[in-house]
A and B are shown apart, each in its own frame.
Chain A
């Protein structure tokens, strides 16, 4: 059945019962929980014992986390004839709008939080500057990889120092594995960029 009300929109086939909403936000503060969710997301159909081998928590905690993620609708048990339970991770978006600022939590952000033990700059920014600033910097750094903003622009827009911005940028480029993989830098000569438009009003006045 599909429905579209003020608070619920459903095109069908969604979970009928979602409880434990705090699990969504805990994904942003509990590195181990985030790590477990991302491990399932990266390995669809992974079994509980296999997950336990991949994450840095006890088996008991793994099963507790699996239960919480399942209740929140973030993972589902796959249909399997074997006795061993296997799981798939579900996509989600959790959007909050507070005083005109809208922030959307997605698995992509959770994947970064899951790596925060290896990259202390992530927690430092979340703790000292807040999650909105972190999420904004995250998105701008992705835009940087597409050449849309410069690092100084990211620093100015987030109000982070240039050094902090660079540290986060380096971490996110590694976590998301973005950027070129060539052995040497790209070199532009004047001939390579001759077609780039210049600001005509200035060139006319030169």
Chain B
């Protein structure tokens, strides 16, 4: 068996993709569950993205987009990333924190509105790097509807030696309803 066939594919998903699919129950989420099984992959979200989608107005708080998939085991919520935006980059010693700082700065320098909420965007890239750090035989596909972030997802991990990454950009965002919950979208294409 070739090396590539032995690699496992993980998909890291941004908030907006789940918003486009709607709250559970949703036919799009049902399609997604089926596509995840057919693609033999797993979906990951960062803890900050999980919180972003959580409804804290209920007791207990409930995540109407993710909880069903999490309880059924086909969506995984990562443990919180340790990075802090206020921590100087020099004191960030591990690649995951460094990747989050990198992405934050990458988005800042290309944005008309730097310093505005890029840290949570950067968690998508940081989670991808963490998956690479923790798994030697993995490749990662990221999914977002923000173009700059999509480019960052493909640009930053190679800085840490990780090239097995593909970044999917959904434009317009609502197209993710049809384009994301498919086996093709969740599978490695390679070029």
Residues of A whose CB lies within 8 Å of any CB of B are: 143-145, 147-153, 155-157, 162-163, 166, 169-170, 173-174, 178-180, 183-194, 196-199, 202-203, 205-206
Instruction: Give, as a whole number of angstroms, the nearest-CB distance from B134 to chain A.
Output: 20
- Asked whether, in the complex, the Cβ of A188 is within 8 Å of the Cβ of B109, the reply is no
A89 to B185, alpha carbons, bound, how many Å?
Answer: 45
- Asked whether, in the complex, the Cβ of A197 is within 8 Å of the Cβ of B168, the reply is no
- Residues of B near A187 (CB, < 8 A) are 166-169, 189
- Asked whether, in the complex, the Cβ of A185 is within 8 Å of the Cβ of B169, the reply is yes
- Residues of B near A163 (CB, < 8 A) are 19
Residue of B nearest to A144 (CB): B146
- Asked whether, in the complex, the Cβ of B154 is within 8 Å of the Cβ of A192, the reply is yes
- Asked whether, in the complex, the Cβ of A188 is within 8 Å of the Cβ of B173, the reply is no
- Asked whether, in the complex, the Cβ of A170 is within 8 Å of the Cβ of B20, the reply is yes
Q: List 24 A-B contacts (CB under 8 A).
A: A145-B171, A148-B148, A151-B146, A152-B117, A152-B120, A152-B121, A152-B146, A153-B111, A153-B116, A153-B117, A156-B117, A166-B19, A166-B20, A179-B172, A180-B171, A183-B179, A184-B185, A185-B143, A185-B171, A188-B169, A191-B191, A196-B155, A198-B159, A199-B105
A198 to B169, alpha carbons, bound, how many Å?
Answer: 20
- Residues of A near B81 (CB, < 8 A) are none
Per the CB 8 Å criterion, the residue count for chain B at the interface is 57
Residue-wise, chain B 107-128 has the 8 Å CB interface mask toward A (1 for contact) of 1110111001110110000000
A183 to B171, alpha carbons, bound, how many Å?
Answer: 10
Residues of chain B from 128 to 175 with CB closer than 8 A to chain A in the complex? 143, 145-151, 153-159, 163, 165-175
Residues of B whose CB lies within 8 Å of any CB of A are: 15-16, 19-20, 52, 89-90, 98, 101-102, 105-109, 111-113, 116-118, 120-121, 143, 145-151, 153-159, 163, 165-176, 179-180, 184-185, 189, 191
- Residues of B near A149 (CB, < 8 A) are 111-113
- Asked whether, in the complex, the Cβ of B157 is within 8 Å of the Cβ of A190, the reply is yes
- Asked whether, in the complex, the Cβ of A196 is within 8 Å of the Cβ of B113, the reply is no
- Asked whether, in the complex, the Cβ of B159 is within 8 Å of the Cβ of A206, the reply is yes
Instruction: Give, as a whole number of angstroms, the nearest-CB distance from A45 to chain B.
Output: 32
Instruction: Give, as a whole number of angstroms, the nearest-CB distance from B20 to chain A.
Output: 7
- Asked whether, in the complex, the Cβ of B191 is within 8 Å of the Cβ of A189, the reply is yes
- Asked whether, in the complex, the Cβ of B150 is within 8 Å of the Cβ of A186, the reply is yes
